[in-house]
Homo-oligomer: A and B are copies of this chain.
Amino acid sequence: MTYQVHGVASSGNCYKVRLALEQLNLPYAWHEVDMMHGATRTETFLKLNPNGKVPVLRIDDMTCLCESGAILCYLAEGTPLMPTDRLARAQVLQWMFFEQYSHEPNVAVARFILQFLKRADDPRLPEKTAGSYRALDVMEAHLATRTFFVGERYTVADIALYAYTHVADQANLDLSRYPAIRAWLGRVRSQPRHVEMPAVDQ
């Protein structure tokens, strides 16, 4: 069985799915979605995801899974990317919900404003920048005494948080005062079958 992924290559949320598929060596076909020209608002796309967002994982003709966090957990189940211990599994989810609530809406949205919309004077940017640094502070304190987010091993929590953190510079964020985050980024990059995220189309 080959998974069908509908995504935007330079979107961090979509990159998470691709990175997991590559690292788990699962067969997939990538369908690039022209989000910037309304392709997530077409009738065809809204049948895949009525919420109009990428990524979408098509498991079969009848079954689509949405939300990057849910897709990561689905793919990781039964693999080394997801712990088996009940508490560790919940801790993985804790960091994935942290990413979607406290990190992505700041770091990813600031990056989107700057790199996709190209609006350096957007009035939302100061608040997004402040929120990004609050999230990075929480990550730095956690990683100061740990090699990965949960259980001292690489899991989908690391994939989720790596996606936008490793391109924080594209959100005009300065990681120089985050040595633990920078060391962790290096450890994530050195995992087997790591792939890079493509640059934003200019």
Contacts and interface: CB of A to CB of B under 8 A. Distances in A.
Contacts of A73: 89-90, 93
Interface of A: 50-51, 53, 59, 63, 65-71, 73-74, 77, 86-87, 89-91, 93-94, 96-98, 100-102, 104-105, 138, 141-142
A141 B50 contact: yes
Given A90-B74, A100-B97, A100-B100, A142 B67 contact: no
B101 A74 contact: no
Contact of A86 (B68, B77, B97): B77
Contact of A59 (B87, B89, B96): B87
Interface centre among A59, A63, A70 (most CB of B within 10 A): A70
B77 A94 contact: no
Interface centre among A53, A73, A93, A100 (most CB of B within 10 A): A93
Contacts of A93: 67, 69-70, 73-74, 93
A108 to B, nearest CB: 11
B138 A102 contact: no
Nearest to A94: B70
Given A65-B90, A65-B91, A102 B70 contact: no
B98 A86 contact: no
Contact of A70 (B77, B91, B138): B91
Contacts of A74: 86-87, 89-90, 93
Given A100-B100, A141-B50, A65 B94 contact: yes
